[in-house]
Chain A
Amino acid sequence: MRQAGVRKDKMLSSLANIYFDRAYGYSYKEAAYESKGEGSAENRALLTWVKFELFQSNHKIINMSFHLFAGPYTIAVIGVLVEKLLTGQLHQMDNIEFRKAVKSLSIPRDQVGKIIIVEDAFFNSLKDLKGDTW
């Protein structure tokens, strides 16, 4: 029965749940750094605002913090970034890998715009960092 029950797209996929928990459980830890870059992006219609702060030392991103006003899918997308940071790959991060990882979250079509906001915020902070000392 197509109309019965809860709409699937209203629930996070199990992988998105994992990434949500990863981002939500992430806590920024104060550490020495050489320089930092920050950037944000927002879309009022999507009720989403995201801001990143990236910290670098020896031309590597060594730490990250984020702030947001967003829904669970956006937080799950940020969880992908957090994982890359925690596994030490953030400095190598490229767009394709990120998109691939995000695809596996099974984000509903009407929520995909939020990926772009996270990407924009992240790359704005990267740009700010590179413009500074990179």
Chain B
Amino acid sequence: MINNLNNYFDYAATTPMHPRVVTAMYDFMKDDNYFSNAQATHMKGVEVNKLIQQKTDDIYNVLGVRSHDLYITSGATESINWVLRSFRKQAQEKPRRILSSRLEHKATTEVLKSLNKIDYIEYIETQSDGATDLNHLELLLKTGADLVSIMHVNNEIGVINDIEKISFLCKEKGVAFHVDASQSVGKLALEVVFKYADFITVSGHKFYGPKGIGGLFVSREHSLTPFMYGGGNYLRPGTIATHQVVGFAEAFSLISELESDANRIKELSFDFREKLKEIDGLTVVADSLAKVPHIMSITIPGVQSKVLQKVVQPYAISLGSSCNSTQEETSQVLRTMGLSDGLAASTFRLSFGLYTEKESLNNFFNLLSLESKKLRLLSKGAPGWCQKGQNA
């Protein structure tokens, strides 16, 4: 499996399961002693429950967390839904006010859209370079809020938000603070997040764990309302996916390995960035900001990323656009940063991880250089909206 990953540059979308995670899950699944429902009160159930508690403690220990409780969810989308929907207006209450950014993942922005019919949702402005405008956040907080929800690392452009400063502003006004840390586990130290955030979302498959499992860390000073109803745990009902928890805990045990690999990625990414200067017209989005080296968003004017993705096969690169029934829809993140639709459609994302190697990046660069030259020639004479500028 690992040998086939040389051409994979989409680690921000998902990572392959680490061999240690696969082994831990496989060993657990084939062990007859641990198939039982962890909530059952018989001996087998108690044994499984003990093991799950142990795995949860392992996660707390790896992260050094003492102030938050971990709730296992199906992934980041569920965790984010749970937090945001817990803050919506309850019966007989006044509408709530939630502050967030248009640079958030759709798992946040789509939930906020649904809440906007009842509650007040406001978006913190973004500076033209892609940074969250903290002055605007301060201004918004002056008129009160119930929750601020911000991602630690942006999934499209890799920009790092200043969690400490945002938290400081929130604490000053007594406002709860949720951090979507899906993209930061294994890339950045999480101490600052656990020190300052009240709610923290993580996702297993973003750091070499299994898909279908995530976590929501909740500060002991806060509580949530149930998101779903059913048997078992009152707050998060349903039978615990025990094998997933085992894989999830094993993925957390990789964190120190991932964090030390970040230096290698930093070097790879820097060298690749230098090479990219050879490609005419190419720009890296939010190039001047503090970013994780694992994520790079690249614009080549006149070259639609959908076409580029096709002609650089078999390299796996990610697009920033999708379409709906009436028009092409480009990435909201890129549009918020002021890119025109034409430029946003000409932007793609590369993301690196444990198995990214210099040689494969060099080979990819050669192909990218060749094909982008051809595609730029193909778009010669195209109107201005295709190749430059900001939207009107």
Q: A67-B380, A69-B302 are in contact. Are A47 and B310 (CB under 8 A)?
A: no
Q: Interface residue tally of chain A, by bracket?
A: 20 to 34
Q: Is the CB of B304 within 8 A of A70?
A: yes
Q: Contacts of A49 on B, CB cut-off 8 Å?
A: 379, 382-383, 386
A45 surroundings in chain B (CB, below 8 A): 326-328
Q: Is the CB of B327 within 8 A of A46?
A: yes
Q: Contact check: which of A42, A72, A110 meets B310 at CB < 8 Å?
A: A72
A residues less than 8 Å from B323 (CB atoms): 110-111
Q: Is the CB of B380 within 8 A of A46?
A: no
What residues on B are CB-neighbors of A134 within 8 Å?
A: none
User: Do A68 and B379 form a contact, CB below 8 Å, given A110-B323, A111-B323?
Assistant: yes
Contact check, B327 vs A75: say whether CB atoms are below 8 A apart: no
> Which residues of chain A are within 8 angstroms of B378 by Cβ–Cβ distance?
67-68
Contacts of B330 in A (CB 8 A): 47
Q: Which residues of B contact A24 (CB under 8 A)?
A: 311
Contact assessment for A110 and B325 in the assembled complex, using a CB-CB cutoff below 8 Å: yes
Indicate if B4 sits at the interface (CB-CB under 8 A). no
- In the complex, which of the residues B302, B326, B342, B381 contacts A51, with contact meaning CB atoms closer than 8 Å? B381
Task: List chain B residues, Cβ under 8 A from A109.
Answer: 325
**Measured between alpha carbons, how far is A70 from B323 in the docked complex, in Å?**
13
Which residues of the other chain, A, contact B306 by a CB distance below 8 angstroms? 71-72
Check: B112 CB closer than 8 A to any chain A CB.
no
Complex interface bits, A38-75 against B, C-beta within 8 A gives 1, otherwise 0: 00001011110101000000000000000111111001
B328's partner among A12, A42, A46, A68 (CB-CB below 8 A) is A46
B280-329 CB contacts (< 8 Å) to partner A: 302, 304, 306-307, 310-311, 323-328
Cα distance, A75 to B374, chains bound together (Å): 14
| Chain A residue at minimal CB-CB distance from B304 | A71
Residue A20 interfacial (CB < 8 Å): yes
Please pick, from B310, B324, B386, the residue contacting A69 in the complex, using a CB distance under 8 A: B386
Interface of A (DSSP majority class) = mixed
Minimum CB distance partner of B311 in chain A = A24
Flag whether B71 is at the interface (Cβ < 8 A). Answer: no
Q: Is the CB–CB distance between A47 and B304 below 8 Å?
A: yes
Q: Which of B324, B325, B342, B380 contacts A47 (CB 8 A)?
A: B342
| Residues on the A chain within 8 Å of B386, using CB | 47, 49, 69
A20: chain B residues at CB < 8 Å are: 310
Cβ contact of A67, chosen from B307, B310, B328, B379, cutoff 8 A: B379
In Å, the complex CA distance between A69 and B324 comes to 19
CA distance A47 to B311 in the complex (A): 19
Nearest opposing residue in chain A for B345, CB measure:
A47
Q: Which residues of B contact A75 (CB under 8 A)?
A: 307
A51→B302 CA distance, assembly (Å): 14
Give residues of chain B (348-392) contacting chain A, Cβ–Cβ below 8 Å.
378-383, 385-387
> Chain B residues with Cβ under 8 A from A72's Cβ?
306-307, 310
Cβ of B341 under 8 Å from chain A? yes
**Cβ–Cβ < 8 Å partners of A12 in chain B:** 310
Shortest Cβ distance from B379 into chain A, in angstroms?
5
Interfacial chain B residues near A70, Cβ < 8 Å: 304, 307
Contact string against B for A residues 70-97, beta-carbon threshold 8 Å, 1 for contact and 0 otherwise: 1110010000000000000000000000
* Additional A-B contact list (20), CB under 8 Å, known A42-B383, A72-B310: A20-B310, A44-B385, A46-B327, A47-B304, A47-B328, A47-B330, A47-B341, A49-B383, A67-B379, A68-B378, A68-B379, A69-B302, A69-B304, A69-B387, A70-B307, A71-B306, A71-B307, A72-B307, A109-B325, A110-B325
The 7 closest A-B pairs by CB, nearest first: A69-B386, A45-B327, A47-B328, A69-B382, A71-B306, A69-B379, A110-B325
Q: List, sorted by A's number, 21 A–B pairs whose CB atoms are closer than 8 Å.
A: A12-B310, A20-B310, A42-B383, A45-B327, A45-B328, A47-B304, A47-B330, A47-B386, A49-B382, A51-B381, A67-B379, A67-B380, A67-B381, A68-B379, A68-B382, A69-B304, A70-B304, A71-B307, A109-B325, A110-B325, A111-B323
